[in-house]
Amino acid sequence: MIFRNIPLVLAILCIPQMPLRAQSCADAIRVPYRAPTCDGKSVERAMRISPSAAAANAISMPYFVHSNVPEFGHIQVRVVVAPTGTVVGAAPFAGDVRWYEKATALAMTWRFKPFQSQGGAIYATFSSVLDVVPPERRPEQYRSFADIKDWDSVRITLQRTACRGLCPAYKLTIFGDGRVQYQGDNEWVDYSGKEYRGHVSRAVVRQLVDLFRSADYFNMFDRYGRAYDAPDYITSISFDGNSKSVVDESGYHDGMPDILRTLEDEIDRLAGPRAWPERQKSSRNNVGD
């Protein structure tokens, strides 16, 4: 998954932390991070890791706390992750206390690949940031996701545009037969300046379509947000004459459904260049050659 709050999260590591009570494994959350018995297992110490390392191991890490109050903000939490990858402790330590309970409940749902040290799974602790955002919005007129008749007509795209900072800019296109095209548009991507070709299985294509369907994708607005200094994340799907695209421009401040960010990241994970077999990576064809 792509961790979008890294600059803010890195900044909070230098903030003094309040000794608030955690939901469980409280001692592991406070300095010096000594962990009591959790899930029936006793450990001497939970290893402190960076937010970026936590994000790299994340399986599920939603960080939007939805609020009906028009004010936005951030909640900073420290969490403890067990060797199984489940969160066993979560303690907010900064931000509006009104949202501490919701932030704790959300952080407790996070799941990770087990963190490793010296060849074994460990308890790990880190700080993170949750955003307080408006409730999700969808159109009043419902549009269902139709059954696909011609799988060769399927076309899925993900485009990420540039910003004023170091945002990677590229476009990824996946076809129903598994063909993939990738165009890198700036220096902050792994493969830039040319259009590369890859391939994924039809099973992956069906998995991606299932993600669009579970997101109720056709029942979203065409655009969420309008932040002029932020990149656009644009997804689309078309098949059998049906088509839909959604622009996410810091859309979580505009009622964007959380599932859209998950969908964006899963397209990258399942069909991006890093998912292509090594033999494809060593024999990429430049479309222009």
Domain regions of the chain by residue span: 6-133, 151-280
Task: Point out which residues pair with 47 in neighbouring strands.
Answer: 124
Which residues, 6 or more positions from 223, have their beta carbon under 8 angstroms from its beta carbon? 246, 247, 249, 251
Beta strands in 5-154 (DSSP E): 47-48, 58-60, 64-66, 73-81, 87-94, 111-112, 116-117, 120-121, 124-133
**Could you read off the pLDDT tens digit of each residue along the chain, which spans 289 residues?**
444 544 444 443 343 333 333 344 544 455 344 444 454 444 456 899 998 899 889 988 888 898 887 667 889 999 999 999 999 999 999 998 989 999 999 999 999 999 998 889 999 999 999 989 888 999 999 999 999 999 999 999 999 998 877 888 899 999 999 999 998 877 767 776 677 899 999 999 999 999 999 999 999 999 998 766 788 999 999 999 999 999 998 888 888 998 998 999 999 999 988 888 765 654 454 443 3
User: Residue 109 corresponds to which amino acid?
Assistant: T
Query: How confident is the model at residue 209, as a pLDDT?
Result: 98
Query: How confident is the model at residue 166, as a pLDDT?
Result: 81
CATH code assigned to 151-280: 3.30.1560.10
